């Protein structure tokens, strides 16, 4: 008995000793990284959101996010078009450094190098599960893709564990979804062929068969017809794989919700890239007529609903307090982008660009200044921030947040700004629009001289081209009406020097265009 008692106390002593030897850190709660979600819109303008001044168009869910988070008034996409903006967002590299970073056809090879650093790679290394649902538009394969086999390299080779994408744009073939490299619904008996140069024999086109169209093309968009809508590029086969345009928003939403539910017990990064309000605008019938502005307004209402449903899922899964949500758009707004869809006719008093000048494709502010919101329930104090921030900065900021030492050439670590702890954003930023570049520094915007037309007549957007330098004080003149370049040569010189220090001197302007 005594023997057992002694052994018992010995064991107790030993246990106390062993417990007290445990390293201290283990007892403290180790902070876990949050889930990160980027909700990326396609062509949503600065003025298209209630929180950014829209009154005719109702966007209650976007507004709720803005009101509960930080609404940036100087938040920028890197480019006034899609591919370059998406390239910069994922890699943290200015798109003008990559000559192929321009609007890509559906057959373009993968633009991001498989060795290149990306946001999902940074996060993967820190234990995140990474997914993309929605629009890709960064190229696939290495040229001559066989759509009937595994399409690779693609998102899964640049850091995403899971991908469910549309290859390019809703108006470009192939009009199919691709899950982890495989066309969903592919049928070996009905192989998919895609070509951007020539049609496949006997296949109808928008140009030759207007009688088959349910949506009319205005410019471009007159190649293969899918679901009555003429597209850019030619496609044959894959009947069962073709998407339903009116169901696309619901389809991507369901995939995004599924992704969250499947990975709720891991730390995840989801890039949810919606296709709205890019053309062709095809709202689900339950959203038809809801905006009074025709399909463009209706798909914004639809996208707003999708956002609300998606956030509901995060809430139901108890993830909202542990998820940083970033909401923004790849470029500014456009009304007629190639189809007759009443966007122009039914715009009424709505101003898609707010008080900004220009729109998609433009070097003026509306090309790149977009809705830009960060939200993290319980962690971000609601406010409006005037700091200049860019999607280019997500990579370095996110790396900072998860304690990664990774960074990218042009990306600035601005997590304090995205979290609302600081209002010191970028001092300078180069923006891009269809291979031209402009500069923002402090309150000033600089646009070098360019030869091109002042306006793209088809889309009815001022592009920012002018034979003279343009200099605007955005604080006093947000609509860029008063060119101060002549009156303020010192400021002009200062900005040109700062711009060229980053951009170099071989950018295209009238002068060096004339040299060619
Ligand atoms: C343009 C298309 C436009 C749109 C854009 C890409 C024509 C005439 N216009 O070339 O409709 O598809 O490319 O938009 O074809 S983006 O948002 O993906 O950059
Ligand atoms: Ca776009």
Rounded CA gap, 375 and 305, in Å? 17
- Smallest-distance ligand from the CA of 169: 1
In a domain, 448, yes or no: yes
| Distance from the alpha carbon of residue 233 to the mean position of ligand 2, in angstroms | 18
Q: Whose CA is nearest to atom 15 of ligand 1?
A: 220
Strand-pairing partners, residue 165, are 134, 178
Residue 371 sits in a domain of what CATH number? 3.40.720.10
DSSP string, 464-504: ---SS-EEEETTT-TT-----TTT-HHHHHHHHHHHHHHH-
pLDDT value at residue 507: 84
- Report the SS3 class of residue 262: helix
Residues 105 and 163 in one domain: yes
Residues 403 and 440 in one domain: no
Query: Can you count the helices (H) and strands (E) in the chain?
Result: 10, 20
Rounded CA gap, 383 and 386, in Å? 10
In a domain, 279, yes or no: yes
Q: Which of 423, 438, 457 is the last residue of a domain?
A: 423
| Distance from the alpha carbon of residue 382 to the mean position of ligand 1, in angstroms | 35
Which residue is listed with tokens 């850019």? 232
Going by the DSSP 8-state scheme, the letter that residue 450 receives in this structure is -
In a domain, 2, yes or no: no
Q: Which of 423, 454, 470 is the last residue of a domain?
A: 423
**In this structure, is the dihedral angle defined by the CA atoms of residues 480, 483, 487 and 493, taken in order, positive or negative?**
positive
The structural domain count of the chain equals 2
For 85-89, the CB contacts below 8 A with 24+ separation are 85/330, 85/331, 85/391, 86/40, 86/136, 86/137, 86/138, 86/273, 86/330, 87/111, 87/112, 87/138, 88/390, 88/391, 88/392, 88/410, 89/38, 89/40, 89/119, 89/330, 89/391, 89/392, 89/394
Q: Whose CA is nearest to atom 10 of ligand 1?
A: 103
In a domain, 224, yes or no: no
Rounded CA gap, 417 and 387, in Å? 8
In a domain, 304, yes or no: yes
Residues 163 and 65 in one domain: yes
| Distance from the alpha carbon of residue 418 to the mean position of ligand 1, in angstroms | 30
| Joined tokens for residue 59 | 């966007």
Residues 121 and 171 in one domain: yes
CA angle 363–485–371, rounded 5-degree value = 30
Ligand 1 and 341: CB distance under 6 A:
no
Give the domain extent around 468.
Answer: 429-503
Ligand 1 and 338: CB distance under 6 A:
yes
Ligand 1 and 48: CB distance under 6 A:
no
Residues 173 and 137 in one domain: yes
In a domain, 212, yes or no: no
Ligand 1 and 329: CB distance under 6 A:
no
| Distance from the alpha carbon of residue 460 to the mean position of ligand 1, in angstroms | 14
Atom of ligand 1 nearest to the CA of 171: 12
Of 226, 116, 252, 101, which Cα lies nearest the Cα of 174? 226
| Joined tokens for residue 103 | 């609007």
In a domain, 215, yes or no: no
| Joined tokens for residue 139 | 């190229």
pLDDT value at residue 509: 73
Ligand 1 and 251: CB distance under 6 A:
no
Rounded CA gap, 236 and 174, in Å? 9
Buried b (16+ CB within 10 A) or exposed e, 133-166: bbbbbbbbbeeebebbeebbbbbbebbbbbbbbb
DSSP string, 295-346: HHHHHHHHHHHHHHHHHHHHHHTT-GGGEEEEEEESS---S-SSB-SSTTTT
**Segments in 357-440 forming alpha helices (H):** 394-401, 415-418
| Joined tokens for residue 379 | 């962690």
Residues 105 and 242 in one domain: yes
In a domain, 350, yes or no: yes
pLDDT value at residue 516: 32
Residue 478 sits in a domain of what CATH number? 3.30.1120.10
Largest Cα separation within the chain, whole Å, is 104
Q: Whose CA is nearest to atom 18 of ligand 1?
A: 82
Pairing of strands 182-183, 177-179: antiparallel
Q: State phi, psi for 5 to the nearest 5 degrees.
A: -60, -45
Could you report the average pLDDT of every consecutive run of 10 residues in the chain (516 residues)? 52 54 52 94 99 98 98 98 98 97 98 98 98 98 97 98 98 98 98 98 98 98 98 98 98 99 98 98 98 98 99 98 98 98 98 98 98 98 98 98 97 98 98 96 97 96 97 98 97 97 86 47
Residues 384 and 307 in one domain: yes
- Smallest-distance ligand from the CA of 83: 1
Rounded CA gap, 502 and 497, in Å? 9
Residues 249 and 345 in one domain: yes
- Smallest-distance ligand from the CA of 332: 2
CB–CB of 332/85 below 8 Å?
A: no
Of 450, 451, 401, 407, which Cα lies nearest the Cα of 421? 401
Residues 112 and 256 in one domain: yes
Residues 94 and 76 in one domain: yes
Residues 40 and 177 in one domain: yes
Q: Which of 388, 423, 458 is the last residue of a domain?
A: 423
467 half-sphere exposure, CB direction, 13 A CA radius? 1
- Smallest-distance ligand from the CA of 217: 1
CB–CB of 141/111 below 8 Å?
A: no
Residues 355 and 308 in one domain: yes
Query: CA distances (Å), 132 to each of 116, 164, 237, 307, 310, in order?
Result: 17, 6, 26, 15, 14
Ligand 1 and 337: CB distance under 6 A:
yes
């Amino acid at each position: 008995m005594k023997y057992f008692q002694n052994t018992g106390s010995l064991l107790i002593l030993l246990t106390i000793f062993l417990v007290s030897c445990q390293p201290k850190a283990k007892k403290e709660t180790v902070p876990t990284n949050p889930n990160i979600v980027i909700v990326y819109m396609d062509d949503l303008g600065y003025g298209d959101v209630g929180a950014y001044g829209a009154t005719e168009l109702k966007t209650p869910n976007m507004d709720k996010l803005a009101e509960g988070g930080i609404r940036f008034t100087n938040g920028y996409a890197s480019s006034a078009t899609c591919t370059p903006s998406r390239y910069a967002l994922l890699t943290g590299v200015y798109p003008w450094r990559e000559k192929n970073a321009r609007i890509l056809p559906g057959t373009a090879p993968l633009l991001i190098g498989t060795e290149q650093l990306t946001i999902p790679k940074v996060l993967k290394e820190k234990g995140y599960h990474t997914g993309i649902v929605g629009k890709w538009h960064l190229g696939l394969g290495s040229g001559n893709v066989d759509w009937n086999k595994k399409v690779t390299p693609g998102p899964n080779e640049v850091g995403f564990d899971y991908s469910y994408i549309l290859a390019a744009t809703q108006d470009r073939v192939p009009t199919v979804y691709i899950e982890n490299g495989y066309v969903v619904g592919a049928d070996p008996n009905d192989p998919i062929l895609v070509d951007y140069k020539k049609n496949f024999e006997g296949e109808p086109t928008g140009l030759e068969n207007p009688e088959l169209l349910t949506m009319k093309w205005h410019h471009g968009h007159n190649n293969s017809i899918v679901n009555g809508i003429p597209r850019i590029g030619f496609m044959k086969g894959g009947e069962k794989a073709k998407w339903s345009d009116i169901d696309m928003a619901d389809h991507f939403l369901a995939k995004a919700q599924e992704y969250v539910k499947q990975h709720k017990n891991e730390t995840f990064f989801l890039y949810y890239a919606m296709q709205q309000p890019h053309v062709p605008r095809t709202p689900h019938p339950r959203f038809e007529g809801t905006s009074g502005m025709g399909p463009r307004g209706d798909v914004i209402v639809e996208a707003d609903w999708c956002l609300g449903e998606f956030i509901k899922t995060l809430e139901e899964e108890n993830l909202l307090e542990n998820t940083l949500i970033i909401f923004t758009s790849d470029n500014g707004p456009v009304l007629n982008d190639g189809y007759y869809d009443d966007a122009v006719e039914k715009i009424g008093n709505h101003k898609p660009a707010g008080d900004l000048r220009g729109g998609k494709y433009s070097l003026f502010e509306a090309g790149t200044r977009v809705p830009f919101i960060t939200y993290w329930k319980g962690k971000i104090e609601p406010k409006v921030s005037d700091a200049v921030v860019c999607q280019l900065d997500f990579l370095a900021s996110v790396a900072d947040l998860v304690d990664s030492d990774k960074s990218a050439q042009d990306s600035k670590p601005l997590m304090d700004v995205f979290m609302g702890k600081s209002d010191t954003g970028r001092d300078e930023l180069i923006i891009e629009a269809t291979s031209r570049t402009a500069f923002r520094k402090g309150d000033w915007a600089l646009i070098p001289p360019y030869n091109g037309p002042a306006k793209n007549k088809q889309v009815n957007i001022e592009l920012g081209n002018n034979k003279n330098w343009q200099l605007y004080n955005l604080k006093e003149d947000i609509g860029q009406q008063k060119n101060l370049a002549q009156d303020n040569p010192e400021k002009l010189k200062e900005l040109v020097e700062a711009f060229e220090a980053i951009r170099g001197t071989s950018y295209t302007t009238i002068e060096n265009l004339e040299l060619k």
